[in-house]
Structures are given as C-alpha cells and as structure tokens.
Structure 1
Amino acid sequence: MAAASLIALFFLCIITLSLASVNIDCGTSLPGVDNNNVTWVGDKDFITSGELATVSSTTVEYLTTLRYFPTGDSNCYSNIPVTKGGKVLVRTMFYYGNYDGKSSSPAFSVVFEGKHRGTVSISSAFKPYLLELIFAPASGETSVCFVRTSSSSNPFVSSIEVFDLDDGMYDELGPVKVYFTNNELRMAQQKF
C-alpha cells in the first residue's frame, strides 16, 4: 500500500507540471520559451547576490546558465509567488558542467521557506541533479536559499520551478514533507 502511494505521488507530481506558478532560469535576466513551450523568466527579480556563468556542455535550454555564490554563507532567492494556504512543489535543478574549470564535486545545502533543508552533492559534472520538495507555504511568497557547507565548495543553481498543487492533493497523507532527489523518493513525516 505504501509503495502504491509513493508511485501515485510521483505521477501526480508529474501531472502538476502544467500548474507552474513560475519557472526561473537562473543566471539570466531574459525571459523565454523552451522547446516544450514552457515559459521561463530570468532571475533578476528574485535575487541580488551571486555571479553568472554559462555551461556549454548541455543541450537543455534552461540548464545552459547558472548562478553561483562565491561569497556569503547563505544566498537566497526570495519573493517567489505561491498560493497561501495550498501546497506547492518547488523543484531545484543543478547542472555543474564544470562551469568553473575546477572539476570539483560541489556539495551544499538548500533551505526551502527558511525551514525545510535538503542536501545537494554533485557526483557527476555532466548529469543534472534534482532536489524537489512539497510543502505548505506560510504566505503568498516563498524563498529558496543556498547554504555553504564547505569553504572549498560554492553553492550554485541552474533553475527553480514552483508549482501550485491542486486543493486536496496529498491530504490523505496528512502533514507530510516530501523530498524527491534525482528520482529517488524519500518521505519524512513532519508538521509544516
């Protein structure tokens, strides 16, 4: 029963793609539409820190740019619009692509809404890394912060997607925080 619930949960997340509140192409200020007819916005309205970089080793449009954070312990995207009182799926995508020429394996934390923490550990420079979280936002805006966990590793992000979920989705699971990491499902019961 639990396995069936997890599978259903995964496919329901895929269905929500059409309900996106905002798709942020990190590291660019230009809006655009990708080959899948998905509209992307630049990140200039959501963050004031970090440096921009491009990656030439990918053909995925919204992964060709990124924003990295060489200074500060925590750098945050804020004022991301969400629907208060509902649940949202926030998907963060990371494509290292050796943008800095260091061939390193970056590791850092991501903090959603100031309280839900996930860990990013890039093991392959040329494979995207995905970290998603479903939670109930406290207000009509949310934030995603990138936290340095090592002095030798700069946090970065390629894209942030935020999806408002339909009313009632996941109600049968009770108060649950759900992480999706590179297509592996991990659930942790926790009150919002």
Structure 2
Amino acid sequence: MATLLHLLIFHLFLYSASRAQMPGFLSLDCGGTDNYTDEIGLEWTADNQITFGQTASISVPGEKRRQYMKVRYFPADSKKYCYMLSMKVRTRYLIRATFLYGNFDRSNVYPKFDISLGATYWSTIVISDANTIEVQEVVMLASSPTVSVCLSNATTGQPFISTLELRQFNGSLYYTTYENQFFLSLAARINFGAGSSDPV
C-alpha cells in the first residue's frame, strides 16, 4: 500500500512538472536535486520528491552533463521499483532510459537487472563498463493515461537509473500495424550525416 501511495504521489508530481514543458515532453534527472535547463535547452526535472530508492553521486572521466552526475538506485530484492508517467491515450511516445554506472556503490560489481513497462518485459540491463552509458528506447502507442517504467530482478549489483525521458510524437510517425499489441524497441541508431550528434 505504501509503494502504491509513493507511485501516486510521484505521478502527480510528474504531471505538474510536464505541464511546464512541451506537452508530452519530459526529461527526468534520476537522483537529481534541482530542476534546470541544460546547454541545448532541454528542461530537466529532478525526481527528488520520491521517497523510495537512494541517490549517489558519480564522476566519470570526460562526462560533464549534469544529468549524469547522479543516479537513483534501489535494493536488490524481489520488488519492482517504478516511475509512473502521464500519457495521452492513443498517442505514440518514445520512452528512453539511460544508465551510467560510474561505480556509484564503490563495489566494482557490474549490475544486471530488468526493465519493464508495467508487467511487460522490456529488456535486461547488463552493465559491462562503469564509464559507458547504456541506453534503452521504446516507441509505444499509449493505451492508458499512465505507464509504469519499472526496475527489478537484479542478479548482480543493484538496479539503478540515470535518466528517464518521454517524447510525444504527432501524426503517423512510427505507425505500425500491430502497435495495439506490441511496442518497438531500439536495435540501433545511426547518424547518416547530421551536422551534430546532440541528443533530441
């Protein structure tokens, strides 16, 4: 019951934070303490109003972006730890989760755990380098007003997360015949000559 209450409170927090930005556009700094705008104009929202999980500071050589200075991590137990995000029904979204270990727990044990959308398995996060950002993305059609992004099932280390982003699409971009039953998961992203490698 307490976990459900935490999720509901965090859901309300995210809803009010996302209203200040473009509709359906959220950049969440997991472990962050303050809201801020980064050097490319993205507004980042700290997740500091949730009461579960702990935060840790990290320092990775060559990484200066503020969203990768802290992580939020969770116990390696049998529970799911979820972020609940607001969505508009029958609208397509990109959900992006990133993970920069940075040896936040000072154990040098590379974490391995699952990420899911509610009860639906998304991927297994396997960290193999403390200084490399692991990125997972899905494109989905929202079938309800909220979606839960959950971390669980750690087999080594502790589940953690650096950032969680939501991007609303307009029109038929990424339309698929079976989008009511399945989501699209990123296999690869290739830059075919863009003038900048800045994220969107």
How high is the TM-score relative to the length of structure 2? 0.74
**Number of residue equivalences:** 164
Structure 2 residue corresponding to 1:165, chosen from 165, 169, 180:
169
Whole-angstrom CA distance in 2 between matches of 1:55 and 1:41: 19
Query: For 1:43-192, what aligned pairs fall within 5 Å after superposition?
Result: 43-45=47-49, 47-57=50-60, 58-73=63-78, 74-78=80-84, 80-150=85-155, 152-172=156-176, 174-175=178-179, 176-180=182-186, 183=189
Higher mean alpha-carbon deviation, 63-72 vs 33-42, is at: 63-72
CA pair 53-181 structure 1, distance change in 2 beyond 3 A: farther
User: What SS does the aligned partner of 1:62 have?
Assistant: helix
Percent of residue pairs identical: 24
Change over 3 Å in CA distance of 1:119–1:19 after alignment to 2: farther
How far does the alpha carbon of each residue in 1:100-124 deviate from its partner, in whole angstroms, 9 at most, with x for none?
Answer: 1111211100012432421110111
Return the offset for 1:148.
2.3
- Partner of 1:127, secondary structure, is coil
Structure 1: 5+ residue stretches without partners: 1-17, 185-192
8 Å contact from structure 1 (residues 24, 160) kept in 2: yes
Separation in structure 2 between the aligned mates of residue 124 and residue 182 of structure 1, nearest angstrom: 19
Give the structure with the larger strand fraction: 1
C-alpha contact (below 8 Å) 2:71/2:161 kept by paired residues: yes
> What is the CA–CA distance in structure 2 between the aligned matches of 1:68 and 1:28, rounded to whole Å?
12
Distance 1:99 1:157, change over 3 A: same
- What is the CA-CA distance between 1:166 and the residue it aligns to? 1.3
Q: Any unmatched runs of 5+ in structure 2?
A: 1-21, 191-200
SS at match of 1:171: coil
Give the deviation of 1:35 after TM superposition: 1.0
- The residue type equivalent to 1:37 in the other structure is G
Q: Give the distance between the partners of 1:109 and 1:159, measured in 2 at CA.
A: 16
